[in-house]
Chains A and B, each alone.
Chain A
Amino acid sequence: MNAPAHASTNAPAYNFAYLDEQTKRMIRRAILKAVAIPGYQVPFASREMPMPYGWGTGGVQVTAAVLGPNDVLKVIDQGADDTANAVSIRKFFVRTAGVRTTTSTPDATVIQTRHRIPEATLGEHQIIVFQVPIPEPLRFLEPRETETRRMHALEEYGLMHVKLYEDIARHGHIATAYAYPVKVEGRYVMDPSPTPKFDNPKMNDCAALQLFGAGREKRIYAIPPHTEVVSLDFEDHPFERYRFAGACALCGSTESYLDEVITDDRGSRMFVCSDTDYCESRRGAQPALPPASPADPSEPEGRRG
């Protein structure tokens, strides 16, 4: 992509990256507080953005507040740069900030994402911004904000452990496949946003700054670089990283998280990398493999992560 910045494409009526500087300062203060208290949800005066709540307004506000003119922006949704909403958000920043954009994970300085963490290891020069729908990991156990804030304050996470235990008692496994709760720096239980639990280990000791923005719920939280992030589990039921047992039909990777694609109405399917940049860069390095013979979809693979 690498769309060059054209000053003329900036929407003239709006400030750099859309938000006025006063609002950016307010958001940066919230980010600084979030970085100082890893995993703690900081309330902030989220603004109405020109895209709907639920489309990434929190992530967009965080990105707008951290973006500088020399940044290189990558936007992904479901791991892919070409999903409609990723295209739309990237276009918004090209238009309002004129920043350079890229699809290359290593070349980006700011990565805004929905539902995935890229496969490539992130570095110190990078910030990853997550779009968060429901920032409260305890919300589905306790709907009241007044209660969950108290529970976090008292570090009262028994309810969450009971839920995980009940999963094991009922199903033999912790029946959470995405938005799998983590504990940050031994203190706050945090929602990693609805990423698959496959991505959870990437958050631990990550060199990049991880920022989370929830626009509708008006919360920002953060994981500073090289912070300990532990997926909740039990000694006798350790956290398991899940990945479909198979290879990407395009690049042959057996390491990446796969999307399932239905290819006809008779149950045929294929699996391809969800991270399009990872897949394309592998295919650039080596010829694409022919589609693998359809793996038995009923045979999942659990792997320790």
Chain B
Amino acid sequence: MYVAAKGGERAIENAHRLLAHERRGDPAVPEITAAQIDSQLTLAVDRVMNEGSLYDRELAALAIKQARGDLIEAIFLVRAFRATLPRLGATEPVETAAMTVRRRISATFKDLPGGQILGPTFDYTHRLLDTQLDTHAGQNGAAPEPVRAAPDATRMPRVTDLLAHDDLIEPSPQAAPEQPVGDLTHDPLSFPAERDVRLQNLARGDEGLLLALGYSTQRGFGRTHPFAGEIRLGEVEVEFTPPELAFAVPLGHLTLTECQMINQFKGSATEPPRFTRGYGLGFGHCERKAMSMALVDRALRARELGEEIKAPAQDEEFVLSHSDNVQATGFVEHLKLPHYVDFQAELGLVRRLRAEFAAAAPAQRLDEAAETSVQEAAE
């Protein structure tokens, strides 16, 4: 006899208990702490802060623990929390030229004021699994003390500013303090989207999608001839001007990764040839994300620069509508929710069409097939 699927509430509670059990894993192994994640899985924390749009290492680490290491799930946890936070206001723009730099490389100049600083990078590691890393000796011993240079007081100008002196590259856009910066979390995205909203969208966007789109531009789908003008990682001071004070007060520091891509521009009837720029910026150490973002930002400037729009990475509606992985995973995964009612309606329709197909005389079907193929040939 038919038994309706009752007891949804108990099933949900049991599923949650089972999930907590699976999350904990083998009880013989010590439980991981959010502090360990924060200090040892730093790049995962950086990604969750970026795409979660919230600079809070502890919460991001907690989210990673709660999500069992599923970073998109962790990003979702952070986003849902962020949506409940009140807004105090907007900070002053951060000045990345005044960054306390830990890493700074340029692929366009061998040397430049401030020099090249390799910093903590995987770039020249050999990808050989280090079996010593997880031995007890390796766990207990601290990593060897890094070599540190004396702090250098030299200001480290951005490469793009160095080039701008010769007008070889487009200047940084002028600050427009009276013009509010768009905010996707308070206004729905609409098209055409201006660059502020686009950069916010890309900064929140899925690293994997931006990587693939950036890659596609390098392979010719919207080619923009990029050079990594500069990538820098370091700390910047954040300042806020409270309404009751007339001056900015420092709130603290952010770790940021910034990427300035330098791209060709052939010029137009009114503009001489010069280099243009794509821009990427993200929380923490996120080079892959910042570089991909800069490539996609530049590709999406096609409309502004009068370039022909023919590749996916240049299509702002395509890119900006599909970049958010919390939205994307929600809609893809919602397919596991029940669709009995729609499927029943489709079943009814298909059965009806099949019944009519079966009832039609075979000869008539042949005629129709012949007609169809003639039509197709005509097209």
Interface residues in chain A, defined as those with a beta carbon under 8 Å from any beta carbon in chain B: 14, 20, 43-50, 52-55, 57, 77-80, 82-88, 91, 114-116, 133, 144-146, 171-173, 175, 177-179, 194-198, 216, 218, 242, 244, 249-250, 257-261, 263, 270, 272, 274, 276, 291, 297-300, 302
Evaluate contact between B4 and A88: CB separation under 8 angstroms: no
Within 8 A of A (CB), among B328-379: 329-334, 337-342, 344-349, 351-356
Evaluate contact between B344 and A48: CB separation under 8 angstroms: no
**Other-chain residue from A43, A178, A297 in contact with B346 (beta carbon distance below 8 A):** A178
**Other-chain residue from B2, B321, B326 in contact with A270 (beta carbon distance below 8 A):** B2
Q: A78-B338, A145-B191, A178-B342 are in contact. Are A14 and B84 (CB under 8 A)?
A: yes
Tell me if B23 is interfacial: C-beta within 8 Å of chain A. no
- What would 4 more interface pairs be, CB under 8 Å, given A194-B341, A250-B2? A47-B83, A177-B348, A194-B339, A274-B341
Q: A46-B188, A145-B321 are in contact. Are A258 and B352 (CB under 8 A)?
A: no
Evaluate contact between A261 and B345: CB separation under 8 angstroms: no
Within 8 A of A (CB), among B183-221: 185-192
Interface centre among B11, B188, B190 (most CB of A within 10 A): B188
**Other-chain residue from B186, B188, B354 in contact with A298 (beta carbon distance below 8 A):** B354
* B209 CB, nearest partner CB in chain A, Å: 16
Evaluate contact between A77 and B337: CB separation under 8 angstroms: yes
The answer for the CA separation of A58 and B340 in the assembled complex, in Å, is: 21
Q: List 12 A-B contacts (CB under 8 A).
A: A52-B334, A54-B332, A54-B337, A87-B9, A88-B12, A91-B9, A146-B192, A175-B349, A178-B341, A216-B331, A244-B348, A259-B341
**Other-chain residue from B2, B6, B317, B332 in contact with A146 (beta carbon distance below 8 A):** B317
Interface centre among B330, B345, B355 (most CB of A within 10 A): B345
- Which A residues are CB-close (under 8 A) to B76? 48, 52
From DSSP, what is the main secondary structure of chain A's interface residues? Answer: loop
* A209 CB, nearest partner CB in chain B, Å: 23
- Which B residues are CB-close (under 8 A) to A270? 2
Evaluate contact between B337 and A55: CB separation under 8 angstroms: yes
Evaluate contact between A79 and B349: CB separation under 8 angstroms: no
* B375 CB, nearest partner CB in chain A, Å: 11
Q: A45-B186, A82-B4, A171-B353 are in contact. Are A144 and B317 (CB under 8 A)?
A: yes
- Which A residues are CB-close (under 8 A) to B68? none
The answer for the CA separation of A33 and B14 in the assembled complex, in Å, is: 42
Evaluate contact between B188 and A53: CB separation under 8 angstroms: no
The answer for the CA separation of A266 and B346 in the assembled complex, in Å, is: 21
Evaluate contact between B356 and A172: CB separation under 8 angstroms: yes
Q: Which residue of A lies closest to B85 (CB)?
A: A20
The answer for the CA separation of A257 and B327 in the assembled complex, in Å, is: 32
Q: A54-B334, A196-B345, A242-B349 are in contact. Are A274 and B340 (CB under 8 A)?
A: yes
Evaluate contact between B341 and A116: CB separation under 8 angstroms: yes
**Other-chain residue from B79, B186, B346 in contact with A48 (beta carbon distance below 8 A):** B79
- Which B residues are CB-close (under 8 A) to A260? 340, 344, 347
The answer for the CA separation of A129 and B331 in the assembled complex, in Å, is: 19
Q: Which 6 residue pairs across A and B have the least CB separation, nearest first?
A: A54-B334, A53-B330, A177-B345, A87-B8, A52-B330, A218-B188
Tell me if B5 is interfacial: C-beta within 8 Å of chain A. yes
Tell me if B7 is interfacial: C-beta within 8 Å of chain A. yes
Chain B 1-38 per-residue mask, 1 if CB under 8 angstroms from chain A, else 0? 11011111101100000000000000000000000000
Q: A44-B188, A48-B326, A259-B341 are in contact. Are A84 and B12 (CB under 8 A)?
A: yes
Evaluate contact between B355 and A300: CB separation under 8 angstroms: yes
The answer for the CA separation of A194 and B337 in the assembled complex, in Å, is: 13
**Other-chain residue from B192, B332, B340 in contact with A78 (beta carbon distance below 8 A):** B340
- Which B residues are CB-close (under 8 A) to A77? 337-338
Q: Which residue of A lies closest to B83 (CB)?
A: A48
- Which B residues are CB-close (under 8 A) to A44? 188
The answer for the CA separation of A43 and B190 in the assembled complex, in Å, is: 9
Tell me if B82 is interfacial: C-beta within 8 Å of chain A. yes
The answer for the CA separation of A179 and B347 in the assembled complex, in Å, is: 15
Q: A45-B186, A77-B338, A272-B2 are in contact. Are A54 and B330 (CB under 8 A)?
A: yes
The answer for the CA separation of A116 and B341 in the assembled complex, in Å, is: 8
- Which B residues are CB-close (under 8 A) to A297? 351
The answer for the CA separation of A123 and B8 in the assembled complex, in Å, is: 29
The answer for the CA separation of A11 and B343 in the assembled complex, in Å, is: 37
The answer for the CA separation of A144 and B11 in the assembled complex, in Å, is: 40
* A239 CB, nearest partner CB in chain B, Å: 14
Interface centre among B338, B346, B356 (most CB of A within 10 A): B338
Q: A53-B334, A175-B349 are in contact. Are A87 and B339 (CB under 8 A)?
A: no
Evaluate contact between B6 and A82: CB separation under 8 angstroms: yes
Q: A45-B186, A91-B9, A133-B334 are in contact. Are A173 and B352 (CB under 8 A)?
A: yes
Q: Which residue of A lies closest to B52 (CB)?
A: A48
- Which A residues are CB-close (under 8 A) to B83? 47-49
Evaluate contact between A50 and B80: CB separation under 8 angstroms: yes
* B104 CB, nearest partner CB in chain A, Å: 35
Evaluate contact between A249 and B2: CB separation under 8 angstroms: yes
- Which A residues are CB-close (under 8 A) to B4? 80, 82, 272, 276
Evaluate contact between A195 and B2: CB separation under 8 angstroms: no
**Other-chain residue from B8, B11, B185, B331 in contact with A133 (beta carbon distance below 8 A):** B331
Evaluate contact between B317 and A85: CB separation under 8 angstroms: no
The answer for the CA separation of A79 and B5 in the assembled complex, in Å, is: 13
The answer for the CA separation of A260 and B348 in the assembled complex, in Å, is: 10
- Which A residues are CB-close (under 8 A) to B82? 48
- Which B residues are CB-close (under 8 A) to A82? 4-8
**Other-chain residue from A171, A197, A299 in contact with B345 (beta carbon distance below 8 A):** A197
Evaluate contact between A49 and B341: CB separation under 8 angstroms: no
Evaluate contact between B351 and A115: CB separation under 8 angstroms: no
Chain B 292-332 per-residue mask, 1 if CB under 8 angstroms from chain A, else 0? 00000000000000000000000001000100001101111
* B51 CB, nearest partner CB in chain A, Å: 12
The answer for the CA separation of A190 and B6 in the assembled complex, in Å, is: 34
Chain B 69-103 per-residue mask, 1 if CB under 8 angstroms from chain A, else 0? 00000001001101110100000000000000000
